[in-house]
Amino acid sequence: EVQLVESGGGLVKPGGSLRLSCAASGFTFSSYRMNWVRQAPGMGLEWVSFISDTNNKIDYADSVKGRFTISRDNAKNSLYLQMNSLRAEDTAVYYCAREDTSGWFYQDNWGQGTLVTVSS
């Protein structure tokens, strides 16, 4: 069974940092591209960042570019999101999502999410 389990969320002050983790199991993690998607309270889904299976392609939403860094460790079956210079508008549930290998860019499995709250 495919499982994605996020961790690392919490309460942080504006300007602070957090590192989110996503532990993957039940599939060959190194074969899949991964994304982070967030959802502000009561709002819709917003794509945050993408990383290819071999780490050679990375992309960010304009809203987080220069502040967030995505990475992965295929040996540890883990995905990460380093979030710096956090702002109130970064408050959201952050989901890691597995992108299907077909090249059609849909997310076929999602974690349960981890809540990040940025507040003084």
Applying CB under 8 A, which residues contact another protein? 35, 37, 44-47, 50, 59, 61, 95, 100, 104-113
CB 14, min distance to another protein, A: 26
Residue carrying structure tokens 């998607």:
37
CB 15, min distance to another protein, A: 27
Q: Which is nearer to another protein, 17 or 54 (CB)?
A: 54
CA dihedral 8, 11, 13, 15 (to 10 degrees): 30
Q: Which is nearer to another protein, 89 or 108 (CB)?
A: 108
Do residues 96 and 110 make contact, with C-beta atoms less than 8 angstroms apart?
A: yes
